[in-house]
Amino acid sequence: MKIDCSIDGRTLTLSLNSNKPLSLILSENIGDGSAVNHCKGQMCGLCAVLVDGKPMLSCMVPAFEIRGKEIITFEGFQKTRGMKDIEKAYEMVGAAPCPDCYESKTMIFESLISDGVSEPDEILKELSIIRCHCLDPEDAVKIVLKGIDIRRKRRVRRS
Ligand code: FES
């Protein structure tokens, strides 16, 4: 089937099997070197991307569900100003995800920061889709709050 979508700002029309997982579309059809598809349904949580701004496990999203959607991958996101905000938050809090889950957690932090989610329970619930517990929960909450603050200040400076 033909599927129109946007991936990292590129508008695309892809010819796909309707059930092909997004993680495979990213690695095989788009050539995204950061795309992950290795746990075979074991819910490692390492394949998160943003679909219309919401974090989703790309290996669980079939092609037909991305029709008309805007997808942001870590590969695309890391070139943005938003990534700098999150790197700054990691630095200021003195904590960051481990190399294994860095990309996936960073995408979830981006979603939480851009939605201004400040409730610790909500933050931890979103992060719970990743099985790796490398980050102290208190630090994870601090990263989101710091990221919201950094982004708000940057927007004020720009206006
Ligand atoms: S690759 Fe493990 S949940 Fe997607």
Distance 159 CA to ligand 1 centre (A): 40
Residues 88/24, Cβ–Cβ less than 8 Å: no
Q: How far is CA 143 from CA 12, 114, 149, 154, in A?
A: 34, 13, 10, 16
Q: What is the pLDDT along the chain (159 residues), one digit of tens a residue?
A: 899 999 999 999 999 999 999 999 999 988 877 667 668 778 899 999 999 999 999 999 999 999 999 999 999 999 999 999 999 999 999 999 999 999 999 999 999 999 999 999 999 999 999 999 999 999 999 999 999 999 999 888 777
Ligand 1 lining (C-beta closer than 6 Å): 36-39, 43-47, 57, 59
Instruction: Name the pTM for this structure.
Output: 0.93
Q: Where are the domains of the chain?
A: 2-73, 81-158
Q: What angle do CA 31, 8, 104 make, to 5 degrees?
A: 80
Residue 103's nearest CA partner among 24, 46, 154 is 46
- Asked if CATH classification 3.10.20.30 holds for the domain at 2-73, the reply, yes or no, is yes
